[in-house]
Amino acid sequence: MQKKLVSDFGIRTPSTNVPVKQLSGGNLQKIVLARELSSNPKLIIVHNPTNGLDVGAIEYVHQTLIEKKGAAILLISTELEEILSLSDRITVLYEGEMMGMVPRDEVDVEKLGLMMGGSKLDSNSQESKGELR
């Protein structure tokens, strides 16, 4: 591990020579973030980025993703709270088909639930109205 990345990402380790497999889950997640984000990618794809982490590590991962400027982030998550707190737009997929997309500030949790159950947004109406068919 590079000392700069350990410092920048707050990775808690007794030494940069400690094998990664001996670190906690939160520190492992920080190592993955450090490795992937240090190259300044234009696209970041994260799948359940906080699965199994403690509250402190979850906050760290969320804040790190929010602060990442200049990159598009595709968040795939089963955690509705995580989706609502991190997303600008929310798209629901059901059995491989897109049920609809809504801007975060226009989200209706009940309609999201219906889309998760297979109801599509009406393509003839404006997506922002969130009408289901």
> Is residue 77 situated within a structural domain?
no
The predicted-structure confidence for 74-91, as pLDDT tens digits, reads as follows: 999 999 999 999 999 999
Q: What pLDDT is stored for residue 68 in this prediction? A: 86
The predicted-structure confidence for 91-126, as pLDDT tens digits, reads as follows: 999 999 999 999 999 999 999 999 999 999 876 544
User: Does the pLDDT of residue 46 top 90, yes or no?
Assistant: yes
> Is residue 129 situated within a structural domain?
yes
Instruction: State the average pLDDT for the chain.
Output: 87
Specify burial of residue 115 (Cβ count, 10 A radius: 0-12, 13-18, 19+): buried
Q: What pLDDT is stored for residue 128 in this prediction? A: 41
> Is residue 98 situated within a structural domain?
yes
User: Does the pLDDT of residue 44 top 80, yes or no?
Assistant: yes
> Is residue 103 situated within a structural domain?
yes
Question: Rounded distance, CA 91 to CA 116, Å?
Answer: 10
> Is residue 34 situated within a structural domain?
no
Strand spans (E) along the chain: 43-47, 72-76, 89-94, 97-103
> Is residue 102 situated within a structural domain?
yes
Q: What pLDDT is stored for residue 8 in this prediction? A: 83
Q: What pLDDT is stored for residue 41 in this prediction? A: 92
> Is residue 112 situated within a structural domain?
yes
The predicted-structure confidence for 47-75, as pLDDT tens digits, reads as follows: 998 888 888 888 888 998 998 888 999 99
Range of the domain at 133: 88-133
Number of other CB atoms surrounding residue 105 within 10 Å:
8
> Is residue 123 situated within a structural domain?
yes
Question: Mean pLDDT across the stretch 4-17?
Answer: 87
Structural domain tally of the chain? 1
